[in-house]
Amino acid sequence: VVRPFNEVPGLWKNGWANLYNFWKLDGFRNLHRLTLQNFNTFGPIYREKIGSYESVNIIHPEDAAILFKAEGHYPKRLKVEPWTSYRDYRNRKYGVLLKNGEDWRSNRVILNKEVISLKMLENFVPLLDEVGQDFVARVHKKIKRTGQNKWTTDLSQELFKYALESVSSVLYGERLGLMLDYIDPEAQHFIDCITLMFKTTSPMLYIPPALLKQTGSKVWRDHVEAWDGIFNHADRCIQNIYKKLHQDAGTPKKYPGVLASLLMLDKLSIEDIKASVTELMAGGVDTTSITLLWTLYELARHPNLQEELRAEVAAARAESQGDLLEMLKRIPLVKGALKETLRLHPVAVNLQRYIAEDIIIQNYHIPAGTLVQLGLYAMGRHPKVFFRPEQYQPSRWLRTETHYFRSLGFGFGPRQCLGRRIAEAEMQLFLIHILENFRVEKQQHVEVESTFELILVPDKPIILTLKPV
């Protein structure tokens, strides 16, 4: 017999007491580890309430399949209230990230064609490849300057710039010039604001922002300042393209970028376009750069694997004879490495949906409207789901191991990551260029773990050494 919702194990009766304990355990920065512990304590399904945040949590791929089958026509994620509160406070429109219902769907359908369709890859790849080449040239220059034929550094700032340059070149069809020696202080400020925005979101996930706003708390003020910085810079970039589009009328010969394409298409209002392009720009920095940093860290720890990947890239380069799209089809192990990185170091600790219909998971009845979360971090480390989960093994994604609802780093279905194609191409091209040019090594043995700052980030600087191959 199916058991009722009230019998799902877990601590969900006293949200405020739970929030207090969560805070004592430094849960704001340990969410992923606490989730793992909860699965150990309660089993593959548990119910939870922290402050005002109520959810049911699951871990098995087969249960994920049930969850996503019940996501309905208008899939809805957790409402991140600090983000919606900011927009309401400043009277700014929601973009595709925050919209819901029919408004979300109609915007998303149009954005899909311009941002995530395979057809657009043809346009994106040459732009992204150029940024990859410039990154490599920049590193060569840095290596020359040290006079030691190597460069040892914390690459995170370099990767933030690489990611912002990449996503901007696709969105605006032109370069910001962040791979040059001179750093535009405005771009640097934008990057810092995104990091601050993520960091200040997590403590507010569990406390209604209205409460924080009233008490004039520092975290809310910092959050507003961060979003202000993000929107101001994005507004300037968008204005710049908008003006240019009006100046040189006539159809451009080369691909003009996502923003200009959307403006010329004239199917979304300018305000809707601005809102979503701002989200794309802000969503495109920390996500790919941190995933690349983790990948370099893993390559440094696995030198043999690194050589295998280098060989795959060399063969793909030779076989594809200058055709980059062809080349990207011949690097399955590089793609496996990126999946492996997202398995062990997912950007998103969990995926969530408010389910549109009643479902049964692990023999418990779960009513429609419940927020159900798939613990992505926990699933990636579960020995029943992945054989020897602690091992970084890109080849597991080529072999017979089943992949059924296991590769979910970008989410699933119509509400999955809109930037997915951009992110994948950008990261694959980056790795191609790095592997062709440098050997990546790490210093002493340092175990790096994750901290939750809304997205998972390394808990200490990752210091790597790059040497010309």
Using CB under 6 A as the binding rule, whether residue 288 contacts ligand HEM is answered as: yes
Choose the contact partner of 455 out of ligand 2DC, ligand HEM, none; CB within 5 to 8 A by kind.
ligand 2DC
Contacts to ligand HEM from residues 156-185, by CB under 6 A: 167
Number of chain residues interacting with ligand HEM (CB under 6 A): 27
Member of 263, 305, 455, 462 binding ligand 2DC (CB under 6 A):
455
Member of 29, 199, 415, 439 binding ligand HEM (CB under 6 A):
415
Choose the contact partner of 96 out of ligand 2DC, ligand HEM, none; CB within 5 to 8 A by kind.
ligand HEM
Using CB under 6 A as the binding rule, whether residue 77 contacts ligand HEM is answered as: yes
Member of 35, 57, 352, 428 binding ligand 2DC (CB under 6 A):
352
| Token digits of residue 370 | 């419940």
In angstroms, the CA 324 to CA 129 distance is 9
Using CB under 6 A as the binding rule, whether residue 347 contacts ligand HEM is answered as: yes
Using CB under 6 A as the binding rule, whether residue 378 contacts ligand HEM is answered as: no
Of 170, 73, 54, the C-alpha closest to 122 is 170
Span near ligand 2DC by CB under 6 A; candidates 2-10, 176-184, 306-314, 346-354: 346-354
Member of 81, 279, 424, 426 binding ligand 2DC (CB under 6 A):
279
Taking CA atoms, 89 is separated from 100, 102, 169, in Å, by 19, 23, 31
Beta bridge partners of 457: 451
Using CB under 6 A as the binding rule, whether residue 97 contacts ligand 2DC is answered as: yes
| Residue 258 C-beta: closest distance to ligand HEM, Å | 9
| Token digits of residue 417 | 């990551």
In angstroms, the CA 161 to CA 45 distance is 40
| Residue 455 C-beta: closest distance to ligand 2DC, Å | 5
Is the CB of residue 373 less than 8 Å from the CB of residue 361? no
| Residue 16 C-beta: closest distance to ligand HEM, Å | 28
Member of 61, 203, 283, 394 binding ligand HEM (CB under 6 A):
283
Phi, psi (deg, nearest 5) at residue 260: -60, -40
Using CB under 6 A as the binding rule, whether residue 283 contacts ligand 2DC is answered as: yes
Using CB under 6 A as the binding rule, whether residue 78 contacts ligand 2DC is answered as: yes
Is the CB of residue 361 less than 8 Å from the CB of residue 47? no
Contacts to ligand 2DC from residues 107-166, by CB under 6 A: none
In angstroms, the CA 74 to CA 100 distance is 7
In angstroms, the CA 314 to CA 300 distance is 19
| Residue 421 C-beta: closest distance to ligand HEM, Å | 9
If the CB atoms of residues 347 and 435 are measured against ligand 2DC, the closer one turns out to be: 347
Is the CB of residue 322 less than 8 Å from the CB of residue 364? no
| Residue 301 C-beta: closest distance to ligand 2DC, Å | 25
- For residue 133, count CB atoms less than 10 angstroms from its CB and return exposed for 0-12, middle for 13-18, buried for 19 or more: middle
Phi, psi (deg, nearest 5) at residue 352: -135, 150
In angstroms, the CA 64 to CA 258 distance is 32
If the CB atoms of residues 209 and 312 are measured against ligand 2DC, the closer one turns out to be: 209
Using CB under 6 A as the binding rule, whether residue 337 contacts ligand HEM is answered as: no
If the CB atoms of residues 19 and 299 are measured against ligand HEM, the closer one turns out to be: 299
In angstroms, the CA 222 to CA 153 distance is 29
Contacts to ligand 2DC from residues 287-306, by CB under 6 A: 287
Span near ligand HEM by CB under 6 A; candidates 29-37, 38-46, 296-304, 406-414: 406-414
Using CB under 6 A as the binding rule, whether residue 176 contacts ligand 2DC is answered as: no
If the CB atoms of residues 217 and 416 are measured against ligand 2DC, the closer one turns out to be: 416
Using CB under 6 A as the binding rule, whether residue 411 contacts ligand HEM is answered as: yes
Using CB under 6 A as the binding rule, whether residue 96 contacts ligand HEM is answered as: yes
Is the CB of residue 159 less than 8 Å from the CB of residue 414? no
**DSSP H helices in 266-373:** 270-283, 286-301, 303-320, 324-328, 332-344
User: Quick count: other Cβ atoms within 10 Å of Cβ 365?
Assistant: 15
Helix (H, G, I), strand (E, B) or coil at 116: coil
Choose the contact partner of 418 out of ligand HEM, ligand 2DC, none; CB within 5 to 8 A by kind.
ligand HEM
Member of 167, 207, 224, 348 binding ligand 2DC (CB under 6 A):
348
In angstroms, the CA 309 to CA 335 distance is 10
In angstroms, the CA 253 to CA 6 distance is 62
In angstroms, the CA 465 to CA 422 distance is 27
Choose the contact partner of 349 out of ligand 2DC, ligand HEM, none; CB within 5 to 8 A by kind.
ligand 2DC
Using CB under 6 A as the binding rule, whether residue 179 contacts ligand 2DC is answered as: no
| Residue 279 C-beta: closest distance to ligand 2DC, Å | 4
DSSP states of 334-362 as a string? HHHHHHHHHHHS-SSSEEEEE-SS-EEET
Of 84, 85, 77, the C-alpha closest to 55 is 77
In angstroms, the CA 273 to CA 111 distance is 9
Residues within the interface to ligand HEM (CB under 6 A): 77, 96-97, 108, 167, 279-280, 283-284, 287-288, 291, 342, 347-348, 351, 409-412, 415-419, 422-423
